[in-house]
Structure 1
Amino acid sequence: MYLGVLKKFENQMSMEEENQNNFKENILMVTMKDLLECGVHFGHQTRRWNPKTKKFIFGVRKNIHIIDLQKTLRYFRYTYNIVRDASAQGKSIMFVGTKKQANETLKEFAESIQVPYVNYRWLGGMLTNFSTIRKSVRKLEIIEEMENSGQIDLLTKKEKLMILRKKEKLDKYLGGVRHMKKIPDMIFVIDVAKEKIAVAEARKLHIPIVAPLDTNCDPDLVDYPIPGNDDAIRSIRLFCKEMSEAILEGRELMQEEIVHADENSEEIEYVSNEEKEEMLAEIQKEITQGAE
């Protein structure tokens, strides 16, 4: 099953690569030098590998699997365009990464492009029971409204302290998804082995998953994998940066389409008004002639 899925994915990549105009300009695209400098090629110890990642492994050095960066580069470019095109279609993309090496970097990039994110802890049902999550977000908003209106100052010290602690906890868990009105159309995950619950929920709801694929991960769980180190801070930063840029580029393309559509609609509207004026003039002429 895995080989069939992977073969299909690679065929899609080959078709995509036939049209080089769909890629970012080479000067802006991630390079082999970037991958090497960020340590993307370092996998896990050989004893911790997932045999399904064999296809992406170049070799072994000091009991560490070395990832084939030629394949990483190829998958990176293809996946970049998948994310870009999803963004251009107005699809929402969520960032997920809760481990220590990833949480601050992931939050930084997610907030910079204003996408929902989870960087502290994934709450069960974040996707599959989204209505309950929205209720919890509403509680956070109500507490903030109480603060802003001064209503919270009418409570006893103990009550106020309890509510503020509740607010702090809700913000820590849900701050990154408070503006998310519906489940995302795609999720970008750092470390699918760690974020098992998030991955399981996304797969249950058929939400595509984009993720770095380290040598201890299961490729079957990822729709759009990028073979690479998902533990090193610099590597994580590179993945977050590229996915953020893909989303931004997609938004620019969508905006261009909107402007183009508006220009066309304005032109059609102008012609339509002109026709209406001509028809109105003809009607007035007919009325005048009839009166004579």
Structure 2
Amino acid sequence: MAIDIGGTKIAGALVHPDGTMTATTRRPTPPSRDADTVMAAVTEVIADLSGSPLWPSAVRCGIGSAGPVDSSRGTVSPVNIGAWREFPVLDRITEELAARGAAVPAVLAGDGVAMTAAEHWLGAARGHANALCMVVSTGVGGGLILNNQLHPGPTGNAGHIGHITVAFDGDPCVCGSRGCVESIASGTAIAGWARARGWTPAEPGGDATAAGVAAAAEAGDAVALAAFDRAGRALAAAIAATATLVETDIAVIGGGVAASGETLFAPIRGHLADYATLSFVQGLKVVPASLGTHAGLIGAAAAATMLLPQAGTPTATA
């Protein structure tokens, strides 16, 4: 069983050992300040899954959630789900599963960790024993594969590359630090930096988000190109620092900003040569993620398989 909880939708699926999905379902995330109202949408997703004839065959449950998460306590406080602060989502879902005859082990992972598990199992990081996977979107998150094992850390937040400082005298970040990758390379930061330097969409009322900046960069707009070059440099510095620390050999990047393609990847690769200079990181590769919108559910299932292998089906790296 896989459950993917985000700010706009809550999705579920039954995921087979080869990564195919059945009984896929979703509900919009309620715009409610009441925690139980949001949980009710999760319960509806579980109810849909329990109606599948394959429900009794499930052996574990993976829960991927927007963060922050604390997997050691089973709690979440998603920035974009205001009703949930220190919400005990793991216990609540485990109780709901048991009530529907599925007393299976369950695990909670942040969405960056889930994406990492997915890309290592079936995506662009497959075959790499040591990998950094990232989501570059409204925020910047990520996760680590070390020695073919998912490495979420004690609270599930290891690999959170978005809050590595790459500019020690940079702008304040929403996390309270300064000069973080997210404050430079997130979609919000890219668009904000460009607008502050006079960039506007070519047409009145046009797209003023990072996607609009990307389109302008593709058309040759100097400010838009500089915004993506700046973001690429920040990402390159953080990727190189991570690789130097733990010897990853590939960085996989997904998320909405990564959809801009070479507009983002070209400056990352260009700047990487300035930061990945030691012999053991000079071969570091940066590639796009390959699983797209399926990464959340596949990743929740993969994280459960990697972190709860005792349930007796093939591991995610098989």
TM-score > 0.5 by shorter chain: no
Higher strand proportion: 2
Higher relative CO (CA 8 A, sep ≥ 6), structure 1 or 2? Answer: 1
Larger radius of gyration: 1
Whose helix proportion is higher, 1 or 2? 1
TM-score, L = length of structure 2: 0.30
